[in-house]
Amino acid sequence: MKKYKIWAFICMSFLLLNTVMADVRVDSYYMDDYYIEAGDEVSLYFKLHRAPVSSLVGLQEKVTYGAGDVKIIQSESLEDYYIARITPDSEIAEQYVLMSNSQKEIGHLSVGENWASKFEIKIAENTPDAIYKMMFRVYKTDSEYKNEEVILQKPFEIMVRGTPQIDIDAENSIGIGSTGNIELTVYNKGGGVARDVKVDLELSAPFTPVGSSMKYVGSIDAHQSENLSFMVSVSTTADVKTHNIPVTVTYKDDNGTPATVSTNFGVQIDSKPELAFGLDQVDELAPGVTGNIILSISNEGFVDAKFLKFTLEESPDYEVLSINEIYIGNLDSDDIETDEFTIRVKDNVSKTVIPLNVRLTYKGEGSDTSYTKQGTVDINIKSKRVYAEKTRGNGTTNTAVMALIAIPAVFVGLLVIWFVYKVFGLVTSYINRRLFAR
């Protein structure tokens, strides 16, 4: 009887052993590179096994799914086969995480049996740095791999670290012979952090650094920038043009790999002609009187003035009788030009000083930028009475001067006539003697 009970127990145990429920469990998964960047090829390893869970008691309980949930296999069958599959779990992951073979056929997996395999993943070249959601699933199927039923799903993530991409942006203009700042912006347009960033300018003539030409920036996060300023002085003999300045940026990425970016940017050496104008000469003027004025233009800047036009504009106080606009052309640095205009002061002017309206238009050397300089030059105006008195005084003086000039001229004329008369008389007398002597 005892033996019967023991045998019955063994048979029951064997029956239970063959009706044990089992599930598939992931033992581990890992990638062969923890630092993943855009364009990388990554191997992903999964290891799983089929483990016994419990007896047939409670088989009819309802089973629900969720992230990481397991579908319980209710009975052990040699007809059960398995498939492992990796798929992107978001739209952005579908776009950037590429797989040449996302499915592995496991085959039959007995209780207690292990399985491991490798999946190859390609990260697209233009992948932005982000965390990409993925899903690992195990399906139960048949020997022909037709009918599939999810029995395990394991979410995981792939972190793509961006690569720092350093770029320089600068737009500067400095005047000849001046001291100013060269401003530039260092951008990290990539995804990773740029560490130990150093920026070194290679300055040469006509630039001289005022202080250091190297700046230590430190770290620049992804899609961030740093503004830098370098003080320089510019030679007075510099050419007016855009000068290229080489710049070298050194840094390290998140993985500690050093990198160097060498480029250059332009700095415009600019100098505007510094023109000034003034009064050189002027006739005596009064209301209703016409006279000439001579105005001067000087270039006190470092560069020549190009396409220079000199205009004397009319006003309520006077009218310009001559050509009022004169084209000068080029006016060299440290040079002077004078031009003459004829004006008539209007009859109703009661001022003692009137302003002449002057306008200059020109361009700088090496630039198509047009400049305009406007201003006034004051001239003195006499009253009609003072002008008349001075004019009369000038008339008396002129008569006396003319008289003084005329007296010697008359004397000389009479002397010449007397001399001619005497010569004529001598010649006549000689001829007469010759004729009558015969």
65, pLDDT greater than 80? no
Query: Rounded to the nearest 5°, which phi and psi values hold at 399?
Result: -65, -45
Check residue 10 and give its pLDDT.
Answer: 32
Section 362-389 average pLDDT: 89
Amino acid at 36: I
User: Which of the residue ranges 60-64, 195-199, 332-336 would you say has the lowest mean pLDDT?
Assistant: 60-64
CATH hierarchy code of domain 166-270: 2.60.40.10
Domains 166-270 and 275-382 share a fold: yes
Cα 330–chain centre separation: 32
Domain boundaries, the chain: 20-160, 166-270, 275-382, 399-438
Q: Binning pLDDT at 50, 70 and 90, where does residue 379 land?
A: very high
112, pLDDT greater than 60? yes
62, pLDDT greater than 60? no
Whether residue 328 contacts residue 310, with contact meaning beta carbons closer than 8 Å, is answered with: yes
Cis peptide before 206 (omega within 30 of 0): yes
Check residue 66 and give its pLDDT.
Answer: 46
Average pLDDT of the chain to the nearest whole number: 83
Q: Binning pLDDT at 50, 70 and 90, where does residue 59 land?
A: very low
Check residue 371 and give its pLDDT.
Answer: 92
Check residue 4 and give its pLDDT.
Answer: 35
- The percent of residues in the chain predicted with pLDDT above 90, rounded, is 54
Check residue 331 and give its pLDDT.
Answer: 93
The closest of 215, 226, 227 to 193, measured between CA atoms, is: 226
Fold (CATH) for 20-160: Immunoglobulin-like (2.60.40)
Amino acid at 405: I
Taking the C-alpha atoms of residue 72 and residue 93, their distance in angstroms, rounded to an integer, is: 29
pLDDT tens digit sequence for 213-235: 999 999 999 889 999 999 999 99
Check residue 404 and give its pLDDT.
Answer: 63
Check residue 301 and give its pLDDT.
Answer: 85
Superfamily of domain 275-382 in CATH is Immunoglobulins (2.60.40.10)
Element housing 397 (H / E): helix 384-436
100, pLDDT greater than 70? yes
pLDDT tens digit sequence for 272-285: 888 999 999 999 99
Section 107-129 average pLDDT: 89
pLDDT tens digit sequence for 133-149: 999 999 999 988 888 99
Residue, of 86 and 416, whose pLDDT is higher? 86
pLDDT tens digit sequence for 297-342: 999 888 889 999 999 999 999 999 999 999 999 999 889 999 999 9
Q: Binning pLDDT at 50, 70 and 90, where does residue 9 land?
A: very low
